[in-house]
């Protein structure tokens, strides 16, 4: 009997010595620290790029921009058409009526191939761009005829092959000091003149 009681006491002592590890309770602060690195950070939102179609258009060339800027200088210049110009040409060289001073601004090689509008004079734009800025004496020395000077009731009318150079030359005339009221250009120029059956004269000037 005593032996049985002693054995039971020893078993109780051994069981008390063997304890299961207690579950550790983590404080809220510790949980925040230990789980902060595990939390997945939200991915930054990349704003969508707004594409403007116009921003991808071809850049305007300097020459095109200059032409647009110069276009404002010609708003007060008269734009002649075939009917008006053809009707304004005198039927005879000694006609007392005022006729426009026709100025062909094409190059000499072009004139040799097509001829010129009757009574026109040649002042090439590309090779003689400073012509209208010359003094009367300088002009006559270079070209062999007087510098164009419209009198009351007259107009200078510039023309070329299609009208572009004519318009530029008309703008240059204004910058050279000519009264805009006396300056005009023939839009369509030689191509329009020829298409409508306008008369032509042979040009025998120097190259």
Domain boundaries, the chain: 77-89+99-195
Residue 125 CB contacts under 8 Å (≥ 6 apart), including other chains = 105, 106, 160, 165, 168, 169
Q: Kindly report, residue by residue over 137-184, the tens digit of the pLDDT.
A: 999 999 999 999 998 889 999 999 999 999 999 999 999 999 999 999
- 0.75 surpassed by pTM: no
Distance between CA atoms of 18 and 26, rounded to whole angstroms? Answer: 24
Distance between CA atoms of 117 and 205, rounded to whole angstroms? Answer: 14
CA 170, 139, 93, 124 torsion-angle sign: negative
User: Residue 69: enclosing H or E segment and its boundaries?
Assistant: helix 62-71
The pLDDT value recorded for residue 206 is 73
Q: Give the chain's residues under pLDDT 50.
A: 1-2, 5, 12-13, 15-18, 20, 22, 25-26, 29-30, 32-41, 44, 46-72
Class of residue 96 by CB neighbours under 10 A (exposed 0-12, middle 13-18, buried 19+): exposed
Distance between CA atoms of 110 and 16, rounded to whole angstroms? Answer: 122
CA distances from 34 to 20, 21, 28, 29, 196 (A): 25, 22, 10, 9, 94
Q: Strand 78-80 relative to strand 101-104: parallel, antiparallel, unpaired?
A: unpaired
User: Residue 146: enclosing H or E segment and its boundaries?
Assistant: none
The pLDDT value recorded for residue 85 is 96
> Which CATH code, of 2.40.110.10, 3.40.250.10, 3.20.20.80, 3.90.79.10, is assigned to 77-89+99-195?
3.40.250.10
The pLDDT value recorded for residue 63 is 36
């Amino acid at each position: 009997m005593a032996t049985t009681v002693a054995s039971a006491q020893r078993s109780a002592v051994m069981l008390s010595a063997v304890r299961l590890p207690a579950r550790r309770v983590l404080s809220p602060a510790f949980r925040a620290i230990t789980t902060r690195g595990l939390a997945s950070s939200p991915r930054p939102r990349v704003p969508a790029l707004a594409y403007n179609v116009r921003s991808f258009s071809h850049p305007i060339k300097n020459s095109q921009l200059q032409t647009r800027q110069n276009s404002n200088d010609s708003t007060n210049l008269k734009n002649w058409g075939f009917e008006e110009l053809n009707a304004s040409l005198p039927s005879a060289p000694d006609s007392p009526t005022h006729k426009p001073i026709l100025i062909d601004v094409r190059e000499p090689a072009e004139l040799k191939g097509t001829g010129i509008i009757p009574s026109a004079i040649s002042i090439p734009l590309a090779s003689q761009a400073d012509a209208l800025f010359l003094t009367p004496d300088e002009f006559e020395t270079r070209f062999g005829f007087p510098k164009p000077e419209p009198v009351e009731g007259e107009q200078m009318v510039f023309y070329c092959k299609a009208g572009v150079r004519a318009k530029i030359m008309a703008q240059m005339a204004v910058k050279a000091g000519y009264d805009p009221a006396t300056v005009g250009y023939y839009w369509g120029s030689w191509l329009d003149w020829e298409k409508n059956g306008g008369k032509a004269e042979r040009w025998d000037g120097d190259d």
